[in-house]
Structure 1
Amino acid sequence: MQNDPDSQYPQRRGFGFSPRLIIVLLIALYGAYKWFSSAQIQPETGEKVHIDASITPQQESAMGLQAYQEVMQKEQPVDPNSQLAQQVRQVAERLIKVIPAVEDQLAKEHGGTSQHVEQGFSWDVNLLKSDEVNAFCLPGGKIAVYTGLIPVAQNADAIAVVLGHEITHALLRHGAQRMTRENLEKLASTAAAVSGVDPNLQNAVFSAYGVTSQLPYARKQETQADEMGLMLAAAACFDPQQAIPLWQRMAQGEQGHAPPEYASTHPSAGTRIADLQRLMPKAMQYRAAFCGGNNGGASVSTQ
């Protein structure tokens, strides 16, 4: 038998990388790029946020319009000429009118300049017949109030507090921030799958991540909306102090049904009330600065 000449020498070990590892690294690098490149300071809050440049306000508005049209097809609007619908619309119009000035003031307090995304909004306000105690403002300025909110709110001041909160979500582009975060989470999920992580372990980790990161993140947005919404209501000459009894009534309605705060996307009613009480001196300053002696508020029929 002839000896294999190659067997006289030790075999060289390759220095190549696993294709799977290369893919994971590329995904990780892309995710890091998207995360850092999306960072910006939000002028009205002074806080760092992440909004992917590919998600434009125009795209948000288009998605908001589509969602609004779907809601309007399913829900029953109250006659827009009815007294109650007109009163709700008047509350919204007063809030919309002061948005530019409030944004400028808040941005000035944090050393920034507002981007005024509302300039591209096409506002629309509808009252929807439903027992749901809720309201919303979609990107692009599409607002809806459910009739179930009216008896809980009891007055125009409280409705203004709720609508100020919902409008703020659209102004601060909270939807775009959530979309940015969700896209990055999808990249992380893809990287985990490619790396061969056990699916059960991956689900457990991401489930834990949802409790420890996503929910506090959502609660932070709610707190931001509470603060700026309160300033909008005050600047529009509504009584911001009505926010406290409003949330006390909300808490009574939620008693026994609300999840614990750590497992919720919203702060508890108690936390909200404490935060609103802390913010009340500033809200009253906004009311005095923007309204002077104008008492503003009015009653809203609950019928």
Structure 2
Amino acid sequence: MLVGLSSLVLAGCSTSPTGRSQLKLFPSTQINQMGIQSFAQMKEDTPASKSGETNGYVNCVAQKVIAQVPAKYGISNWEVVVFDSEQVNAFALPGGKVGVYTGLLEVAENQHQLAAVIGHELAHVLAEHGNERVSTAFATQTAMAAAYQLSGDVKHKQEIFALLGVGAQVGISLPFGRIQESEADAMGLDLMAKAGFDPKESVTLWQNMGKKAGGKAQPEFLSTHPSNKRRINDLNKRMAKVMPYFEQARAEGRSPQCKA
């Protein structure tokens, strides 16, 4: 079983758009279908905003950023839904689905900051982080089951099972989450800048997020997201690269005027 798992993992090795090695065990069509089904369920469970102004504003920003997604990713139609919820969040799912919660608009104070969030979420899809997460979880669970079967007595089995469970969670899943978040930050920054949104506003966005958290955010080590301080530092370091994209966009007439 362990030999089979090793072969499966080796066969699933791939490279992300930024050149990072990643594990993808499932075909994109299957992951896309999972995203489409999940989005349909979310639309049943969470009411959509009925505000024409809010929907128009969010879609204006989203479509400007979506227009910068390269054709090579093969996603021609994106569905954007504004959910009426106090959650300060947004997401994108494989299959071209985007959800924005109205609560986010209380923290993303202008079109540029909203574009930073949407660009980040689109990047998760473009980098196939969903496939990577599902594949990692699948490989982890398979390895844990194999170790459980191969271990000794009941007590020994429970100890190994517990150790592998904690090790898998902290040693694999969480670090991968932080890497994915940083990768999405970088790719999303490129998208928003090429759409003509000011990338410097991404820093203000995360400063707003920090204020919203009230200093009660989890320590970075136990979070799937980079800390706000680290995230802001990384974004600032990337400004020298993305500002030319922003300036070129403005020179070519891409100057979004999406009004909240």
TM-score, structure 2 as length reference: 0.93
**Deviation, structure 1 residue 201:** 3.3
Relative to structure 1, the CA distance from residue 300 to residue 132 in structure 2 (aligned partners, 3 Å threshold; closer, same or farther) is farther
Q: Structure 2: which amino acid aligns with 1:62?
A: Q
Once residues 233 and 264 of structure 1 are traced to their aligned partners in structure 2, the CA distance between those partners, rounded to angstroms, is: 25
**Residue aligned with 1:145, SS:** strand
2:213 is matched with which residue? 254
Check conservation: 2:62, 2:80, Cα contact below 8 A: yes
**Deviation, structure 1 residue 290:** 3.8
Once residues 69 and 265 of structure 1 are traced to their aligned partners in structure 2, the CA distance between those partners, rounded to angstroms, is: 26
More off after superposition, 204-213 vs 224-233? 204-213
Superposed, which structure 2 residues align to 1:204-243 within 5 Å? Answer: 204-243=163-202
Check conservation: 2:148, 2:160, Cα contact below 8 A: no
Q: Structure 2: which amino acid aligns with 1:149?
A: L
1:187 is matched with which residue? 142
| Corresponding position: 1:133 with 2:88 | yes
| Corresponding position: 1:95 with 2:72 | no
| Corresponding position: 1:175 with 2:130 | yes
**Residue aligned with 1:143, SS:** strand
Superposed, which structure 2 residues align to 1:104-123 within 5 Å? Answer: 116-117=72-73, 119-120=74-75, 122-123=77-78
1:48 is matched with which residue? 21
Relative to structure 1, the CA distance from residue 287 to residue 69 in structure 2 (aligned partners, 3 Å threshold; closer, same or farther) is same
Q: Structure 2: which amino acid aligns with 1:30?
A: G
Check conservation: 2:195, 2:254, Cα contact below 8 A: no
**Residue aligned with 2:100, SS:** strand
Once residues 204 and 135 of structure 2 are traced to their aligned partners in structure 1, the CA distance between those partners, rounded to angstroms, is: 35
- Aligned mate of 2:56, from 55, 72, 86: 86
More off after superposition, 202-211 vs 227-236? 202-211
1:74 is matched with which residue? 45
Please list the CA deviations of residues 27-74 of structure 1 after superposition, one character each: whole Å capped at 9, or x if unmatched. 1111111111111222x201222211xx22221121111111111111
Once residues 245 and 299 of structure 1 are traced to their aligned partners in structure 2, the CA distance between those partners, rounded to angstroms, is: 18
Q: Structure 2: which amino acid aligns with 1:130?
A: S
Identity of aligned residues (%): 32
| Corresponding position: 1:165 with 2:120 | yes
Please list the CA deviations of residues 239-298 of structure 1 after superposition, one character each: whole Å capped at 9, or x if unmatched. 111001110010011124311000011111111100000011111022223442646243
Check conservation: 2:119, 2:189, Cα contact below 8 A: yes
1:17 is matched with which residue? none
- Aligned mate of 1:148, from 103, 109, 121: 103
Q: Which runs of 5+ in 1 are unaligned?
A: 1-26, 102-115
Q: Structure 2: which amino acid aligns with 1:86?
A: G
Q: Structure 1: which amino acid aligns with 2:42?
A: V
Check conservation: 1:219, 1:266, Cα contact below 8 A: yes
Once residues 201 and 190 of structure 1 are traced to their aligned partners in structure 2, the CA distance between those partners, rounded to angstroms, is: 10
Q: Structure 1: which amino acid aligns with 2:86?
A: D
Relative to structure 1, the CA distance from residue 236 to residue 48 in structure 2 (aligned partners, 3 Å threshold; closer, same or farther) is same
Relative to structure 1, the CA distance from residue 291 to residue 56 in structure 2 (aligned partners, 3 Å threshold; closer, same or farther) is farther
Once residues 185 and 205 of structure 1 are traced to their aligned partners in structure 2, the CA distance between those partners, rounded to angstroms, is: 9
Relative to structure 1, the CA distance from residue 61 to residue 205 in structure 2 (aligned partners, 3 Å threshold; closer, same or farther) is closer
